[in-house]
């Protein structure tokens, strides 16, 4: 394959050094002073060229992880198959520094994981560009010369506002179907089109998405909920991909327009509030995501609905594998939301709800469902829900402590000693 490298001089692009994180610049400068090649790469270059704020500033270099660890403080090597470095900074900031890598050939991939020598995984800058998913992610920035380097036609795609898989889409999707999701995500987030050949391969390979590792699918779903969610979920639904990620929940969201409209409104509210600075825990975001489905599930059910709901989660055929704790917490929040609704509907108090661990999360979700935002503190009437829990450190109010006297356990009479 002939590759034309395109290099833009500083005057030919809008990426300015001052837009780059100063710690990332320091790492780049140090690596280059030591004689290594080092570039800013991936999402950061793409986003800066689009005038957007990058989520993180990843670096690639020809220095090996061991060499980086020796030369920098606070470096942690992560990854089992492909090792890369995390440079830690005060305040929790982490900058990822990876070594240029290459795609393995089919034979090389067939080797058992432990048998692949690490050397084989490293490559040239060109290899590194071509192993990436889409062309707009295969751009590099040399902070010293201030040049942008394009191996795979990413600049043209940015100008044409399109997302295109590098290489043959069929082969790249067959190799890793998560790339289908990533293509759809970038197009929805950036408001780009999906290039024709890439788009044609999506429905053909979509069923493979559900066969990817459940842990990976869960990680990708987390990414969706952390950022602006609604446009991407809309796009996943439009292409029939939700069913390959969240099993029968996805099928229901795809086939039932009214049900999906309710989800859409909640995601829209979540995204809007997030933009205003409201933070959501992972469990809360998932509770919103599953609420429209859970609401119809709860209809007409009584008794121990939480356990039944947890069972329903287990049998929904979710391809994304949720950690058990997340699953049970989400089921707990959803049950509490439904119980809060019953209290308001019937006017029958239930003080015990307020004492439950995830009550505050349920209140926030209830607020979004009913009014498009979490309620103001104190909006929950004491008459129905009892007094708010004292914040940690404060003594519990007397009334709360004395309301329920502890029951004394009766001792079993001891059997008479055998003589």
Taking CB under 5 A as the criterion, the residue among 21, 25, 43, 265 binding Mg ion is: 43
Q: Is 103 in the site for ligand ATP (CB under 6 A)?
A: no
Cβ proximity to ligand ATP, 135 vs 365, nearer residue: 135
Residue 132, contacted partner among Mg ion, ligand ATP, none, CB below 5-8 A by kind: ligand ATP
Taking CB under 6 A as the criterion, the residue among 21, 23, 146, 176 binding ligand ATP is: 176
Instruction: Return all residues near 289 (Cβ < 8 A) that are at least 6 apart.
Output: 225, 229, 263, 266, 267
Applying the rule CB under 6 A, the residues between 207 and 226 that interact with ligand ATP are: none
> Smallest gap, in angstroms, from Cβ of residue 189 to ligand ATP?
8
Taking CB under 6 A as the criterion, the residue among 8, 42, 162, 385 binding ligand ATP is: 42
Residue 160, contacted partner among ligand ATP, Mg ion, none, CB below 5-8 A by kind: none
Q: Is 43 in the site for ligand ATP (CB under 6 A)?
A: yes
> Smallest gap, in angstroms, from Cβ of residue 226 to Mg ion?
12
Q: Is 21 in the site for ligand ATP (CB under 6 A)?
A: no
> Smallest gap, in angstroms, from Cβ of residue 21 to ligand ATP?
14
Q: Is 227 in the site for Mg ion (CB under 5 A)?
A: no
Residue 156, contacted partner among Mg ion, ligand ATP, none, CB below 5-8 A by kind: none
Taking CB under 6 A as the criterion, the residue among 69, 101, 132, 332 binding ligand ATP is: 132
Active site residues: 56, 58, 133
> Smallest gap, in angstroms, from Cβ of residue 96 to ligand ATP?
8
Taking CB under 6 A as the criterion, the residue among 14, 16, 55, 381 binding ligand ATP is: 55
Q: Which stretch binds ligand ATP (CB under 6 A): 105-113, 174-182, 271-279, 320-328?
A: 174-182
> Smallest gap, in angstroms, from Cβ of residue 137 to Mg ion?
9
Determine contact, residues 256/313, Cβ cutoff 8 Å. no
Q: Is 179 in the site for ligand ATP (CB under 6 A)?
A: yes
Say how many residues make up the chain: 419
Applying the rule CB under 5 A, the residues between 50 and 69 that interact with Mg ion are: 56
Residue 179, contacted partner among Mg ion, ligand ATP, none, CB below 5-8 A by kind: ligand ATP
Q: Is 178 in the site for ligand ATP (CB under 6 A)?
A: yes
Count of other CB atoms within 10 angstroms of residue 400? 16
Taking CB under 6 A as the criterion, the residue among 61, 62, 99, 137 binding ligand ATP is: 137
Cβ proximity to ligand ATP, 194 vs 368, nearer residue: 194
Q: Is 93 in the site for ligand ATP (CB under 6 A)?
A: no
Query: Residue 356's closest CA among 325, 381, 324, 334?
Result: 334
| Token digits of residue 23 | 């710690």
Binding site for Mg ion (CB under 5 A): 43, 56
Binding site for ligand ATP (CB under 6 A): 42-43, 55-56, 132-133, 137, 176, 178-179
């Amino acid at each position: 394959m002939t590759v034309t490298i395109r290099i833009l001089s500083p005057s030919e692009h809008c990426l300015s050094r001052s837009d780059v994180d100063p710690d990332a610049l320091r790492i780049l400068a140090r690596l280059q002073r030591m004689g290594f090649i080092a570039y800013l790469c991936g999402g950061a270059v793409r986003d800066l060229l689009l005038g957007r704020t990058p989520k993180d500033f990843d670096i690639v270099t020809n220095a090996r992880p061991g060499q980086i660890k020796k030369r920098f403080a606070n470096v942690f090597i992560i990854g089992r198959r492909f090792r890369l470095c995390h440079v830690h900074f005060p305040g929790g900031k982490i900058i990822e520094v990876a070594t240029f890598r290459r795609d393995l050939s089919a034979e090389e991939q067939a080797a058992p994981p432990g048998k692949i020598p690490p050397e084989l995984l490293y490559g040239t800058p060109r290899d590194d560009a071509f192993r990436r998913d889409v062309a707009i992610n295969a751009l590099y920035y040399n902070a010293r010369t201030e040049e942008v380097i394009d191996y795979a036609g990413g600049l043209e795609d940015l100008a044409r506002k399109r997302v295109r898989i590098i290489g043959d889409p069929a082969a790249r999707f067959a190799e890793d179907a998560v790339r289908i999701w990533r293509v759809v995500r970038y197009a929805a987030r950036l408001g780009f089109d999906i290039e024709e050949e890439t788009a044609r391969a999506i429905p053909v390979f979509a069923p493979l998405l559900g066969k990817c590792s459940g842990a990976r699918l869960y990680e990708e779903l987390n990414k969706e909920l952390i950022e602006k969610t609604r446009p991407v979920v809309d796009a996943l639904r439009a292409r029939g991909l939700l069913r390959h990620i969240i099993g029968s929940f996805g099928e229901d969201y795809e086939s039932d327009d009214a049900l999906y409209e309710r989800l859409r409104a909640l995601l829209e509210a979540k995204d809007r509030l997030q933009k205003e600075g409201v933070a959501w825990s992972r469990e809360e975001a998932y509770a919103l995501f599953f609420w429209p489905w859970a609401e119809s599930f709860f209809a007409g059910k009584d008794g121990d609905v939480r356990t039944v709901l947890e069972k329903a989660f287990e049998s929904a055929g979710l391809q994304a594998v949720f950690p058990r704790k997340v699953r049970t917490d989400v089921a707990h929040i959803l049950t509490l939301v439904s119980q809060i609704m019953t209290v308001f509907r019937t006017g029958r108090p239930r003080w015990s709800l307020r004492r439950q661990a995830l009550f505050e999360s349920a209140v926030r979700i209830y607020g979004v469902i009913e009014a498009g935002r979490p309620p103001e503190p104190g909006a929950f009437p004491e008459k129905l829900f009892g007094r708010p829990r004292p914040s940690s450190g404060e003594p519990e109010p007397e009334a709360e402590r004395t309301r329920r006297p502890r029951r004394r356990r009766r001792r079993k009479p001891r059997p008479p000693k055998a003589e």
